[in-house]
Structure 1
Amino acid sequence: MIALGIEGSANKIGVGIVKDDGTILANPKETYITPPGTGFMPKETAEHHRSQVFMLIRKALKEASIKLEDVDVFCYTKGPGMAQPLSVGAIVIRTLAQLYDKPIVGVNHCIGHIEMGRVVTDAMNPTILYVSGGNTQVIAYTQQKYQIFGETLDIAVGNCLDRFARVINLSNDPSPGANIEKMARAGKNYIELPYIVKGMDVSFSGILSNIQEMVLGKKPGKKGKKSKSEEHKEYSKEDLCYSLQETIFAMLVEITERAMAHCNSDSVLLVGGVGCNVRLQQMMEVMAQERGASVCAMDDRYCIDNGAMIAYAGILEYKAKNEGTPFEECTFTQRFRTDEVPVLWRDD
């Protein structure tokens, strides 16, 4: 079987074509990049996706050497994500499925990341750290569900990095997190930041506020003269990036290790855009080696949002159910939790 999937939940729009054995036939994508110091708004992001999606479909079909008639199932990201960008993939796929009389599958974005990670790395039953701009979760599979062991209590780790990059006016090309990672390699002095782990959960908003205050010399949004305690102290951008990475990644490693111990797991899989970060992979590797475990990591071809992960997760669900998503349920939603999805294709 062949599936075509569209991913467009945030600032990336991707079209993937895969076979049911996990062979990736095509996986082109485009990123909406805004000027330094700015984020991406839903309306403008959706406009970008609409301008790119048909070009990407044509490109994917050409790379895969197939026609739309050859596709057996059409898949799209149902959620979670930003509503207006999500609507682009949903509308295009619903239209194609009706034109070619083929089934549709609405895919959970997080499940797409997990199943892409499993097929690319050959990870059988790992503990999963899912880290991206919109999500931060520690996950393990049991009883046909991906259960969430721990997660962020406020903002996602990728959102924390993105917002800090805006404060220090880093470029968004290719991504704020990638530029923080590059700058952190030149950092030499660790600056102590809040370390907030609450059981199996983490919190990043306080860390972000604290490091913003170091940059601005006052609390973000506060007007008037700085108090004596807020006297501006000079910190290099390199040291701030280095310290932020070291702190938040240590928090993530801690809760991942705790989940591995609970599940008696011998491997950890990193998925999501932040999972591309080499320093996070290195820190996780140190922890895993001490436990006699291994780390399964990917590069940015499959870690960051892409259409192939949606196509592959969709084809797994379609084959397990032997049917697609009913057309009236082919909607999209900004909130769609990982543990809401029955994982019918696994029985281990």
Structure 2
Amino acid sequence: MKTASCVCLGIESTAHTLGVGISTEKKVLANAVAFYRSPPGEGMLPRKAAEHHQEKIKEKMEEALRVAGKKIEDVDVFAFSQGPGIGQCLRVSCIAARYLAQKYEKPLLGINHCRAHLEISMNETGFTDPIFLYVSGGNTQVIVREAGEKERGRDGASVEKYRVLGETLDIGIGNLFDVFARSLGEGFAHGSTVEKLAGEGKYIEMPYVIKGMNFSFSGLLTHAQRMMGKEKKEDVCHSLMETSFAVLCEACERALCLTGKKELIVCGGVAQNKKLQGMLAEMCKEQGVEFGFARNEF
């Protein structure tokens, strides 16, 4: 007898993006998103981002249900991102999911944002035993899943155990690019602005900081900001990306050599960067390692 698939509706609001997804155990049925854009030249204000999410959540929930071909009554479990993330933004998904779970008398799951990136990237790539490079706004980590080792979740269930091999000692790489983007005077202050300008520049030497598999980006940020006005902004952007990504590639290469793993996944918001993907792919090719990443929406 065929068992009906469990339908989960998840709400994510860790930072500037609001997402409402609907999935079964095997398939993502819908993924509706709304992106908060801060005013030109400004960073993201948590209060403003949270207000944006509150305004858009009903619309995105209706969109997700429509695309998935489901009714709210069809949902078997509700989930929300419980962190890491920005507190005021996280509160939006938490309150919404808790309300829905109580109203429809369904289970409620709090999901670790980082772990979700790791798990869905494994599902997307089909890899079974990778090293993960997790790169987002506030987090930059080299992670490995402990084969055969499990820990108990809050509900008592057995879940996979992960170990952080290396990480940033100060700011995340996404934060590095977003903060630097404000120095450019190009309107929307976002890492994608740096990526666009970097394609038109040439390399200038910058501080390169790595200790074991740990790294630091705050000094690199300060150096890049001081170079503005002295060098072409395209050259500064190119050098900032080239240097920071080279550090990440070296950390991953060390992790692969240490563990003997034959798979590398890059995940998180910054994983969309084509330059980073290309540098990691080249390193993996030299090491005889498979390389993969999830679709941009994940």
Q: What's the TM-score bracket when you normalise by the shorter of the two chains?
A: over 0.9
Q: Compute the displacement of 1:36 (Å).
A: 2.4
Residue matched to 1:80? 84
Q: Compute the displacement of 1:170 (Å).
A: 2.9
Residue matched to 2:171? 155
**In structure 1, which of residues 11, 14, 18 is the aligned counterpart of residue 16 of structure 2?**
11
**In structure 2, which of residues 33, 54, 61 is the aligned counterpart of residue 50 of structure 1?**
54
Q: How does 1:30-49 map to 2 (within 5 A)?
A: 30-49=34-53
| Contact 2:11/2:81, CA 8 A, preserved across alignment | yes
Residue matched to 1:205? 218
Q: Tell whether 2:201 aligns with 1:196.
A: no
**In structure 1, which of residues 124, 127, 133 is the aligned counterpart of residue 131 of structure 2?**
127
| Aligned partner of residue 133 in structure 1, secondary structure | coil
Q: Compute the displacement of 1:72 (Å).
A: 0.9
| Contact 1:170/1:176, CA 8 A, preserved across alignment | no
**Match for 1:192: what amino acid?**
E
Higher strand share: 2
Q: Give the unaligned 5+ runs of structure 1.
A: 217-232, 303-348
**In structure 2, which of residues 276, 283, 289 is the aligned counterpart of residue 287 of structure 1?**
283
Residue matched to 1:93? 97
| Aligned partner of residue 182 in structure 2, secondary structure | helix
Q: Compute the displacement of 1:278 (Å).
A: 0.7
Residues 54-75 of structure 1 deviation map (CA, whole Å, 9 limit, x = unaligned): 1100000000010111111100
Residues 183-223 of structure 1 deviation map (CA, whole Å, 9 limit, x = unaligned): 11111x2111100101110100000001111115xxxxxxx
Q: Tell whether 2:43 aligns with 1:27.
A: no
What is the rounded CA distance, in whole Å, between the counterparts of 2:103 and 2:269 in structure 1? 34
Q: Compute the displacement of 1:299 (Å).
A: 3.7
Q: Compute the displacement of 1:298 (Å).
A: 3.0
Q: Compute the displacement of 1:103 (Å).
A: 0.3
Higher mean C-alpha deviation, range 260-269 or range 92-101 = 260-269
Residue matched to 1:183? 197
| Contact 2:38/2:45, CA 8 A, preserved across alignment | no
Q: How many residues align?
A: 281
What is the rounded CA distance, in whole Å, between the counterparts of 1:7 and 1:30 in structure 2? 11
| Contact 2:176/2:217, CA 8 A, preserved across alignment | yes
What is the rounded CA distance, in whole Å, between the counterparts of 1:72 and 1:260 in structure 2? 40
Q: Compute the displacement of 1:51 (Å).
A: 0.2
**Match for 1:203: what amino acid?**
S
Q: What is the TM-score normalised by the length of structure 2?
A: 0.92
Q: What is the TM-score normalised by the length of structure 1?
A: 0.79
**Match for 2:225: what amino acid?**
Q
Residue matched to 2:240? 244
Q: Give the unaligned 5+ runs of structure 2.
A: 1-5, 151-160
Q: How does 1:230-309 map to 2 (within 5 A)?
A: 233=230, 235-302=231-298
What is the rounded CA distance, in whole Å, between the counterparts of 1:52 and 1:122 in structure 2? 33
**Structure having greater relative contact order (Cα 8 Å, sep ≥ 6):** 1
Q: Compute the displacement of 1:248 (Å).
A: 0.1
Q: Compute the displacement of 1:99 (Å).
A: 0.6
**Match for 2:168: what amino acid?**
T
Q: Compute the displacement of 1:46 (Å).
A: 0.7
| Aligned partner of residue 228 in structure 2, secondary structure | helix
